[in-house]
Amino acid sequence: MVLWGLVPGTLLVAMVGCLWLLGLFRQRRPQEPPLDKGFIPWLGHAMAFRKNMFEFLKYMRAKHGDVFTVQLGGQYFTFVMDPLSFGSILKDAQRKLDFVKYAEKLVLKVFGYRSMQGDHRMIHSASTKYLMGDGLEDLNKTMLDSLSLVILGPTGQSLDAGCWREDGLFHFCYNVLFKAGYLSLFGCTKNQEQDLLQAEELFVQFRKFDFLFPRFVYSLLGPWEWLEVARLQRLFHRMLSVNHNLEKNGISNWISYMLQCLREQGTAPAMQDKFNFMMLWASQGNTGPNSFWALLFLLKHPEAMRAVRKEAAQVLGEAKLKARQSFGIEISALHHTPVLDSVMEETLRLGTAPTLLRVVHGDHILKMASGQEYLLRSGDIVALFPYLSVHMDPDIHPEPTAFKYDRFLNPNGSRKVDFYKSGKKIHHYTMPWGSGVSICPGRFLALSEMKLFVLLMVTYFDLELVDPDTPVPPVDPRRWGFGTTQPSREVRFRYRLRPAK
Ligand code: HEM
């Protein structure tokens, strides 16, 4: 009897527990930001968010203002939309906002990689050594050779001068940047033909994974797609296995150093393969799509193309344009291209839309630039989406949706770094690389490889859109928040090697 009496009590406790888990009891506490749980228990606004994050956040900002908390799949996210208040979140002097814990969960799910303590610091220190300064100069030379190999083929000039070729611009840029980047960082063998074939195969599989990636992260895949993702993960672990390293030469110092650190920590070879997969993703998922946007904007804006070509001719010199065996660009030229720099900065502003996430450890007061204070609840996530709150802010960037190639140039031709919001100088006037502890450690390499590619394309090739009137395609809305955006459709273009002068 006594036992039977326990059943309703237990059921009640279980029900209350479920309702609590579904978030039904959560109420906004004094000083907390506006809370919007949505109508569906636990899911909250997840569906609208995943369908089109940009539109969803625009709507929420109009409804609640610059700070609000929304429920997305059982987790509460506080979005901060005022860039003048980003400083305290990104500096996080009290160490209450944690990037690493969230990232560790994500990389385990996506790449199968189980992080070790200190990995984050190790990746950043490897990048400071080998993706910046002198290390970067060496890598840039390798990258130029790889771009020559991929575009011109192993024997130098596999493209007939004067003969037009047609391709999808997105496919072309992604394919070239991916293969050149992969070979430069992960090394090659003595057989260049074979290396190119392997890189092509890797690219084909990478694009399949890339396509499923946003819905994979949001756990929205169908059963067959789950199987496909698992197959692709295994394939990448195999193709990037450290067991192949002995056959390779020219593995970049960046990768070698990080693998060495993992070995010293006793990381198993199978886990090192997964680390390689993670690094392939981080290093190759953005540069191709960004280069696509850059070339497309140049093709759609002839005055910008003329300015970039003029600058290229000035810094590279006419003599260099004649030598076509491989691309003979002086790497130091990359330091003297303010116009191209502005084009790239503008492209990154328009084309890159990452989300920055930090887990709140212990209740925490967020001080806004206006002086207002908000209480952030322990366990919630603070989120920034600079594409909407910074890149598209008409106060900071007038006519924010327009491509203006000289937006980041001063009238005297130097780099423009002074931007204002509400009359105040703003530090974070674009944030394509993230910021603070999680800032992209590969940003200098990324910029120089994209610049090299664009320089080669505008210098050595004639380029034209198959349909010059084709509009710039809209962004695929499922990719908001995942770094560089991708177009919702392909754009056809033609290219041909310019005949020698
Ligand atoms: C246009 C190209 C690129 C863009 C827009 C980009 C953007 C980003 C962003 C926004 C993050 C931070 C994500 C966060 O806060 O969670 C990030 C992280 C990272 N990026 Fe990049 N990236 C690019 C290219 C590269 C390249 C070429 C490399 C390496 C060669 C690289 C290596 C990494 C790594 C290792 C991380 C993780 C860092 C960490 O764990 O703190 N990225 N990238």
CA angle 429, 432, 435 (to 5 degrees): 75
- Asked, for residue 448, whether it belongs to a domain, the answer is yes
186 and 70 in a common domain: no
Q: What is the pLDDT of residue 289?
A: 98
Report the distance separating Cα 424 and Cα 87, nearest Å: 14
Q: Give residue 1's pLDDT band: very low, low, confident or very high (50, 70, 90).
A: very low
CA distances from 19 to 6, 332, 401 (A): 20, 62, 43
- Asked, for residue 10, whether it belongs to a domain, the answer is no
Q: Give residue 25's pLDDT band: very low, low, confident or very high (50, 70, 90).
A: confident
The closest residue, in CA terms, to atom 21 on ligand 1 is 440
Spacing, Cα 163 to ligand 1 middle (Å): 37
Write phi, then psi, for 293 (nearest 5 degrees): -60, -40
375 and 234 in a common domain: no
155 and 106 in a common domain: no
309 and 255 in a common domain: yes
- Asked, for residue 168, whether it belongs to a domain, the answer is yes
* Contact of 355 with 434, CB cutoff 8 Å: no
- Looking at ligand 1, which atom is closest to the CA of residue 254? 30
Query: Which is it for the CA torsion 453, 458, 462, 466, positive or negative?
Result: positive
Q: What is the pLDDT of residue 10?
A: 58
362 and 281 in a common domain: no
pLDDT digits (tens, 9 = 90+) for 398-416: 999 999 999 999 999 999 9
Listed range (66-80, 168-182, 237-251, 297-311) with the worst mean pLDDT: 237-251
- Here the CATH number for the domain that contains residue 199 is 1.10.630.10
pLDDT digits (tens, 9 = 90+) for 365-402: 999 999 999 999 999 999 999 999 999 999 999 999 99
378 and 444 in a common domain: no
Which amino acids bring their CB within 6 angstroms of ligand 1? 103, 120, 123, 131, 282-283, 286-287, 290, 352, 354, 356, 432-434, 438, 440-442, 445-446, 483-484
Regarding beta strands 364-367 and 165-168, do their DSSP bridges make them parallel or antiparallel, or are they unpaired?
unpaired
- Looking at ligand 1, which atom is closest to the CA of residue 445? 27
- Looking at ligand 1, which atom is closest to the CA of residue 123? 35
CB atoms inside a 10 Å sphere around CB 159: 17
335 and 228 in a common domain: yes
The pTM (predicted TM-score) of the whole model is 0.94
367 and 236 in a common domain: no
194 and 45 in a common domain: no
pLDDT digits (tens, 9 = 90+) for 162-200: 799 999 999 999 999 999 999 999 999 999 999 999 999
Residue 236 C-alpha from the chain's centroid: 20
Regarding beta strands 381-384 and 75-80, do their DSSP bridges make them parallel or antiparallel, or are they unpaired?
parallel
408 and 369 in a common domain: no
Q: How many domains does the chain have?
A: 2
Range of the domain at 190: 119-354+387-497
pLDDT digits (tens, 9 = 90+) for 354-369: 999 999 999 999 999 9
Spacing, Cα 52 to ligand 1 middle (Å): 23
Instruction: Give me the percent of the chain exceeding a pLDDT of 90.
Output: 85
CA distances from 429 to 81, 87, 388 (A): 13, 12, 12
